[in-house]
Amino acid sequence: MHRFTGKVAFITGAASGIGRAAALAFAREGAQVAITDRTEAALDQLRAEIEAASGEVLAIRCDVSVPEDVEAAVAKTTERFGRIDCAFNNAGVENKAAPVHEITLDEWDRILDINLRGTFVCMKHEIAQMLRQGGGVLVNTSSGAGIRGVAGGASYAASKHALIGLTKSAALDYAKANIRVNAVLPGNIETPMMDRFTGGDIQKAIDLEPVGRLGKPEEIAEAVLWMCSDLGAFVTGAAISVDGGWSL
């Protein structure tokens, strides 16, 4: 089955983890894929992997905290493929663990600039293109931290809570324009970010999961593809947890 033949997928934070899994899944399902990230070496490796499997791919270096990068990436994608049917706004970073009174303004701004402002800028340009072409689907990566508190993680949790509000509001703004907007809320997933967050002690993250294991990036990717597919056509404004019960 090739659910996305003839479709174009635009993915931020694509060089590793969930973004990488989503890029491979979209390509496997027949989509033309635009992959963006700040890390060029890993991006080039992913591009080569997709091309080796006969996929059509465009790799673009893009830092979502730089609005000019985002605007250029969306423009390059539409120049190459003509449209953007599915946008997966996945780029994000974790915070340095600290209680609120010890969070510096620079650290607060760093997290919000990438996780929230960066996603907002992506959405602005993606939605403008989708309005021109008559529709599309956006999925934003929030987190289980978007619906619960995290000790030592106020900046990250604030950014992910805000993403849900942004998602729901945009869903209402464009519901009659054939544009759907949803969010995926991953739990503790086997990614480089999780390695950094736990300092390499993955068992700490496993112990937080009711199901007794970490999630796989591919499991998040499958949820994203479902939301972007025709099977999810009646779903907009949803914040869907894929977290093994962590947020419970």
Residue 70 in tokens: 């985002």
Residue 103 in tokens: 């969070």
Which of the following is catalytic: 10, 26, 81, 156? 156
pTM of the prediction? Answer: 0.94
* Domain layout of the chain by residue ranges: 8-242
Contact 28, 3 (CB under 8 A): no
In CATH terms, the superfamily for domain 8-242 is: NAD(P)-binding Rossmann-like Domain (3.40.50.720)
Contact 194, 202 (CB under 8 A): yes
pLDDT of residue 194: 67
Q: Is 156 a catalytic residue?
A: yes
Residue 143 in tokens: 């987190």
pLDDT of residue 124: 98
pLDDT of residue 4: 98
Q: How many other CB atoms are found less than 10 A from the CB of residue 32?
A: 24
At which residue do the structure tokens 């994608």 appear? 77
Contact 21, 242 (CB under 8 A): no
CA–CA distance from 95 to each of 4, 64, 190 (Å)? 35, 17, 18
pLDDT of residue 208: 78
Q: Where are the alpha helices (DSSP H) in the chain?
A: 17-28, 40-52, 67-81, 105-112, 118-133, 154-173, 192-198, 202-206, 217-228
Give Cβ neighbours of residue 57 (< 8 Å, ≥ 6 apart).
23, 27, 32, 33, 34, 35, 46, 47, 50, 51
Per-10-residue mean pLDDT for the chain, 248 residues long? 93 97 98 97 97 97 98 98 98 94 97 98 98 98 95 96 98 98 93 68 77 92 98 98 90
